[in-house]
A and B are shown apart, each in its own frame.
Chain A
Amino acid sequence: MTQTLVRRGATLVLSLLAATALGAQAPQKELPPPLGTPKPFVLPPRHELSLPNGMKVTLVRFGTVPKVSVYADVRTGHIDEKSNEVALSDVTGEMMREGTATRSATQIEEQVGGMGGSLAINVGDDDSGIGGTVLTEHGPEMVKLVADVVRNPKFPESELPRIIANESRDVAIARSQPQSIAREQFVKTIYGDHPYGRLYPTDAMLKGYTIAQVKDFYARNFGAARTHVYVVGVFDESQMEKAVRDAFAGWPAGSPATSKPPAPHTGHSVTLLDRPAAVQSTIMLGLPVPNPTSSEYTALEVTNALLGGTFGSRITTNIRENKGYTYSPFSYIATHRHDAYWVQQADVTTKFTGASLKEIFGEIDRLQKEAPGASELTGIKNNMIGLFTLQNGSRVGIVNQLEDADLQGLGPDYLSGFVKRVMAVTPSEVQHMTSTYIKPDQMTLVVVGDKATVAEQLEPYEKPVP
């Protein structure tokens, strides 16, 4: 029997320095009172094991609320769809809840409802999570239910037309939302015909899927060797470990996870999608950047937070708090396995579409030319460290953090080393990240808006911004 059992703990000290930006006020103003002594935030220890069939398991006891989250994360999703199979993974996921060899669809839902939970099946680009959160006393029962759904789906053909109709409706509604329209075009430009670039299926494609295709997709892509079960919350460890071993023992390993790295587009591109009379333009502006396995990734995360990723960030301050062009600007780094892109999004008043772009490019340019001040950067780093505590301070947050790190193949020290890595980022590194990776002349720009008003405003951006 191959088994590894590792216990890990890590202590993080939140060394939050004073908000020195406030020091430069007029003398008659009161200064904020001092901070207390920072308290250490301890990442809860993980209990990790591997089953003989290759399935990995992580158990994390956390919190005091009598609930437990159980998720089976399977390394399959859109990545395993062929170009004529867009959303087949989503249809397969929905069909998995339509019954198992021993449970009807209704029995599944009533059982999980009776445990105080619900069953989620979230199909993503690289992985799919099947599970939910239930009251503690039902933890082992939830493990059994999740295992049954993952291992023994019945795939009743009678339900397929309904599932496809639901998917078709969801796609139609998404395609009427400007943010979804922009995103579909944005990922298409960056990833082309790679699965990451195909956001929605055509209706004809969707309606052609057969139960044989669904069963085949499942058979090709689900198995113990590409599954990692996470259990986080309040539970009895030995009882839970036994429940997981019993429920998943004997599940065949299946084929290894797909490796299909994209070759993302990095050139200049401008696409305007017409939405006649729209009162706002939906902007997505971004490009591929180093991914979480890069040694520069943390510096890039800090750069993003400072540039557009926080409420007090430069772009948000500029186009929202100073100009009032928009309500909800936000930049972020989206990740796939060993792949990432940076993007700035905003829904801006139509007549200020060009003006908003000018300000966004202006903020990028400023950060390329001049390193941020030490106090501004310290504030951003403190914010990221605080958010890290919050992200790791909940059951589902812990599951997400572990899933992301494991998907990237990052070692156990990745999460425990986060604070140290953030603290080490310097002002000149942020400037360097911006000039090296946030390059306007290589950006994909997608605008969804009123062409009659917006086209002219985009003219200055038709050629690469130097």
Chain B
Amino acid sequence: MTSRFRLSLLVAVLAVAAAGPALAQSTKSGPALHVPEQYYKLPNGLKVVLSPDATVPTAVIAVYYNIGFRNEPRDRTGFAHLFEHLMFQGSQNLGKLQFIRLVEENGGILNGSTRFDFTNYFQVVPSNAVRRILWAEADRMKGLAIDTSNVNNQRDVVKNEVRVNVINQPYGGFPWIDLPIHANTNWYNAHNFYGDMGDLDKANLADASSFFHTYYAPNNAVLVVTGDIDIPATKSWIQEYFAKIPAATLPPKPDLTEPKQTEEKRFTRVDSLATRPAIGLAYHVPERFTPEWYAFGLLDQILAQGRDSRFYQELVQKRGLTGSVDAGINYGLGNMFDYQGPMLWEVQAFYDPDKKGDDLLAGFDAAIEPLRTTAVDQATLDRALVKMRSSLYAEMEQFAGFGRANLLASFALFDNDPDRINQLERGFAQVTPAILLHTAQEYLRPTNRTVELIVPAAKPDSSHK
């Protein structure tokens, strides 16, 4: 189907493939599904999670390194992401393009991404190719075989990535790059992680070597294999290919903490390519796995997810200020589970020049404030739980089962406990109206938020008739 607002049509649609967790009785309050998983560590420190599911004869192989863009060197903004590209440029037994071709020629797809707290590499392949892909991932964990021409080439590619996603786009970087920079105060959380062009120009082969040897070690990584897999065989291949890779001495973890925000912040960005104003909001969220964090997940459902949400009903349906409100924890870069450290809940909406940012804020406040003064009724809480349960399943199924691997990897990497995937539903079910109320009072304070306003400065549309 060709729709008007899709940029690229008929690019192979792979999203939302079926995972197949075993089902327990599904109830409103109890755990409704159980994801089988085996978790162990190799002597060199590599964490391994295996999770079988034979619904479709495919498998996901994912390697997550515990280095995200927060932690990149201060004079090398954007380096963690540039380095992700370099991991596709060649290793001892696989020259440039050979890794990519190995995956594609075996019927698979692949990608890598750089996020706040990890860099990941993943493949979805027919299940008979698992051994081959494990060999290839181990090959690049052992070391890269790249030269200056690879660095130069990928620097050009990355600069074009920044151009296509940010510099040459209206609303480029709104709000996902802008808001963390302004809402946070700690450099680790508040720098431009896509990278300053000047910093990207300085990056060289020596930086790459040093970055690899500092962070890309088995004891700083997790390997997840899910799908139609044979557990004993998979374990033996992992032993064969990964066990000999030496561990490294890891640097101390930086202090990522953010001070409590006590005053609302506002900033505007003039966008010379945009023709309509837009507003973005950021609120600091509670620490992961606290009762307040679970509650915040449900507040997100109540306020911002779906057209039954209070934001949609208030700003779209009732006030006619915008056509949609989009929001999420770790918005644009992940979900409420796959990070480790301070995080924001971000909200965004586009509106018309005859309205003011304050009109939008009044609408947001009209939706938020009742949650800070009165406990919600059980029906509201129940609907939030149903939506959360459904979105959890959707998250796990996302991208041919990659979503499940992503959660298992995150909980292994950050929490040393991939079985947390099976504890989430219970955590949400334990949220009471009282916890929701006090969470809203503390974390949805106007003084806990940062407001971004996009001021459109493009010339009026001249191109169309």
Chain A residues within 8 Å of B, Cβ to Cβ? 14, 16, 19, 21-22, 25, 29-41, 62-67, 77-78, 87, 90, 97, 105-106, 109-110, 112-119, 122-129, 133-135, 137, 161-162, 165-167, 169-170, 172-181, 183-184, 196, 199-200, 202, 273, 278-280, 310-312, 317, 320-328, 330, 332-336, 345, 347-349, 378-380, 382-383, 385-387, 389-391, 393-397, 400, 403
Contact = CB atoms under 8 A, between A and B. Distances in A.
Which 5 pairs show the lowest CB-CB distances between chains A and B? Answer: A386-B107, A324-B156, A116-B390, A379-B105, A124-B1
Contact of B3 (A39, A123, A325): A123
A117 B390 contact: yes
Contact of A334 (B9, B96, B167): B9
B131 A394 contact: no
Given A176-B274, A200-B464, A116 B97 contact: no
A175 B274 CA distance: 10
A328 B168 CA distance: 14
B43 to A, nearest CB: 22
A54 to B, nearest CB: 21
Interface string B17-57: 11111110010000011000000000000000000000111
Which residue of B15, B105, B156 has the most chain A CB atoms within 10 A of its CB atom? B105
A202 B164 contact: no
Interface in B90-121: 92-98, 100-102, 104-110
A202 B391 CA distance: 37
B101 A21 contact: yes
B57 A40 contact: yes
Contact of B1 (A97, A105, A127): A127
7 contacts: A19-B105, A19-B132, A21-B98, A36-B129, A116-B387, A116-B390, A327-B164
A134 B132 contact: no
B300 to A, nearest CB: 13
Contacts of B19: 65
Nearest to B160: A327
A389 B132 contact: no
Contact of A332 (B8, B275, B386): B8
B16 A396 contact: yes
B112 to A, nearest CB: 11
Contacts of B309: 113
A19 B461 CA distance: 50
A409 B350 CA distance: 40
A66 B26 contact: yes
A16 B323 CA distance: 47
A22 B135 CA distance: 14
Given A347-B163, A387-B12, A321 B18 contact: no
Contacts of A330: 8, 11
Nearest to B309: A113
Contacts of B275: 172-173, 175-176
B14 interface: yes
B154 interface: yes
B153 interface: yes
Contacts of B389: 116, 135
A112 B308 contact: yes
Contacts of B96: 321
Contacts of A65: 18-21, 33, 393, 396-397
Contacts of B465: 202
B57 A389 contact: yes
Contacts of A125: 1-2
Contacts of A322: 153
Interface in B260-293: 273-276
Nearest to A111: B308
B162 to A, nearest CB: 8
A327 B158 contact: yes
B1 A38 contact: no
B14 A397 contact: yes
Contacts of B106: 16, 19, 35, 382, 386
A21 B94 CA distance: 11
A347 B58 CA distance: 33
Interface string B371-396: 00000000000110011011101101
A39 B57 contact: yes
A327 B157 contact: yes
Contacts of B93: 25, 29-31
B451 to A, nearest CB: 20
B183 interface: no
Contacts of A90: 4
Contacts of B322: 166, 169
Given A32-B102, A327-B157, A332-B11, A393 B110 contact: no
Contact of B57 (A41, A310, A311, A379): A41
A349 B157 CA distance: 10
A312 B104 contact: yes
Contact of A395 (B18, B350, B461): B18
A106 B153 contact: no
Given A332-B8, A389-B58, A389-B126, A113 B308 contact: yes
Nearest to B156: A324
B228 interface: yes
A378 B57 contact: no
A38 B128 contact: yes
A380 B312 CA distance: 45
B448 interface: no
Interface string B311-325: 011001100101100
A128 B351 CA distance: 27
Given A177-B7, A347-B160, A348-B160, A19 B1 contact: no
Contacts of A170: 5, 323
B308 A106 contact: yes
A345 B8 contact: yes
A378 B308 contact: no
Contacts of B273: 176
Given A14-B126, A326-B160, A403-B1, A387 B14 contact: yes
B161 interface: yes
Contacts of B206: none
A335 B128 CA distance: 32
B432 interface: no
Contacts of A326: 157, 160, 164
Given A122-B3, A180-B7, A394-B397, A279 B167 contact: yes
Given A177-B7, A326-B157, 4 more contacts: A19-B105, A32-B136, A172-B275, A323-B156
A348 B163 CA distance: 9
A16 B130 CA distance: 13
B458 A176 contact: yes
A385 B128 CA distance: 13
B56 to A, nearest CB: 4
A411 to B, nearest CB: 21
Contacts of A35: 106, 128-129, 131-132
B125 interface: yes
A387 B109 contact: yes
Nearest to B17: A394
Interface string B400-413: 10000000000000
Nearest to A174: B5
Contacts of A320: 157
